[in-house]
Structure 1
Amino acid sequence: MIARLLRRLGAALGLRVDARPARPEAGDVLYAIGDIHGRADLLHALFRQIDEDQADRAGPAGVEIVLGDFIDRGPASRAVMDLILSRRALGRRVVVLKGNHEEMLLRFLKDPAALKGWRKIGGYPTLLSFGVSPPAFLDAATATACQHEFRAALGTAHLALLGGLDLSFSNGGYFFAHAGVAPARPLNRQRAADLISIRRPFLDHDESFGQVVVHGHTPCRAVEFRSNRINIDTGAYATGVLTCLVLDGDGHRLLQT
């Protein structure tokens, strides 16, 4: 009862108060990266900061978790994907989660009619980053032609990255998802639609989810620390602030552009 009251008080004050603070699995260091949205310049700078942080540490490399929505809106979605692929090629442990923007891209690859919805949420800059000109007039024929051109422009590695996105990741006391979780469901029974798109009732929930949920999807001026969740979407596309939450046995800290 006391722990619950402390969590509620912390949530009301915007503080993280927990009788049993969350920790990663023993020896692990977790680097969670918020919504990138086509800002390859910021991701490049943040990877440099992670490398510098790792250089000061002994032991194995940390786990880097990209929380989804790494494409769209910004001008360099292809370059963002290339940076992630290069990171993996270096042998880094990189977990990449699916956001609602990646889900819309994948829908478009299956159904040209999805281009209308993708355009509304900032998909056209992603097409341009792959050298594909969006149709000036959108109808069934132009959408289909655009789909064929985009599919051809996507390299094998890009398609493999998009096809292999995870919906969630769990480590120790932390659960990672793009948007959040449905409070009424156990973490191991979450629906894909909630993991990539939920806002409320997740954001309004002040009880424990069983693990601290680290998420993005809902932009905030500063990182939100709650007793049951941490929101690290600092609106990089518009603000220039891309956030990485570092979690280790000593607690948490931030790296930011």
Structure 2
Amino acid sequence: MRLYAIGDIHGRLDLLERMHERIRTEIERDRPADWRVIHLGDYVDRGPDSRGVIDFLIGAKASDARNITLAGNHDHGFLEFLGLPSMESLFMQNGGVQTAASYGVADLSSGLVRFHSELLQAVPVAHTSFVLSCGYSVSFGDFFFCHAGIRPGVPLYDQDPDDLLWIRYQFLLYPGLHPKVVVHGHTITPKPELLPNRVNVDTGAFGSGVLTAFVVEGAAKRLLTVER
């Protein structure tokens, strides 16, 4: 089975479309016995077209269930804001204004209550259902895929969803091996990190214009990048 794991997208529909085109071309050319495309979460915020990204992923999953979508902390932050608006929320403090604008809601001058009400009306039920449907992790062979990472020492089947969405330094700085190689995003790096115990493919697409995927098939491992 060939596996593609795509890092944090953050509203960059242009890069996501380009990445899927590259992947589709490879699959049609190489005809692997089976494949999965795993999206590691953070589909919304910061970039210009969060709505378009969610629409695209809904369509991709509908056309082929081998497209897998995992949840990121920003995706959950989006739902949390829709449920309980706050100016101190992750959504409002970290790129949610750009997400709202992609749904046609851009005016904060009339206050948070009005802004939230308009956004609530603008976001399709299919979009909230999509985020709710995203899992926290998936595993194939020697690789474990999630958004942020795992808590070292805790069995993979017993990981806390909050850790899978949010963990950072306890995981990133851990020097030992895990039960499987963890493939993740969440922490932006100038270049992908390929380490003995983890692979980080978050290259900050919303700002850098570089979207990265990790590709593994048997013993062969490589990176796939698209740029604006």
Q: TM-score, normalization: structure 1?
A: 0.83
**What amino acid sits opposite 2:76 in the alignment?**
E
Displaced runs of 4+ in structure 1, greater than 3 A? 114-117
Q: 1:155 to 1:235 in 2, by over 3 A?
A: same
CA contact (8 A) 2:5 2:38 kept: yes
Equivalent residue, structure 2, for 1:203: 172
**What amino acid sits opposite 1:172 in the alignment?**
G
Unaligned runs of 5+ in 2: none
> Going by fraction, where is strand more abundant, 1 or 2?
2
CA RMSD in angstroms comes to: 1.6
| 1:250 Cα offset (Å) | 3.4
SS in 2 for 1:56: helix
1:52 and 2:25 aligned = yes
Identity of aligned residues (%): 39
Instruction: Select the residue among 50, 63, 76 that pairs with 2:49.
Output: 76
Equivalent residue, structure 2, for 1:95: 68
CA contact (8 A) 1:104 1:114 kept: no
Quote the Cα distance in structure 1 between the aligned partners of 2:66 and 2:207. Answer: 28
Quote the Cα distance in structure 2 between the aligned partners of 1:246 and 1:64. Answer: 9
Find the structure with the greater CA-based Rg. Answer: 1
**What amino acid sits opposite 1:55 in the alignment?**
E
Q: C-alpha deviations, 1:132-161, integer Å up to 9, x for none?
A: 124136xxxx33332222222112321221
SS in 2 for 1:47: helix
Of 57-66 and 188-197, the range deviating more from structure 2:
57-66
Quote the Cα distance in structure 2 between the aligned partners of 1:199 and 1:83. Answer: 29
Q: TM-score, normalization: structure 2?
A: 0.93
Quote the Cα distance in structure 2 between the aligned partners of 1:184 and 1:177. Answer: 16
CA contact (8 A) 1:108 1:115 kept: no
**What amino acid sits opposite 1:214 in the alignment?**
V
**What amino acid sits opposite 1:252 in the alignment?**
K
SS in 2 for 1:193: helix
Equivalent residue, structure 2, for 1:183: 152
Instruction: Select the residue among 30, 35, 43 that pairs with 2:16.
Output: 43
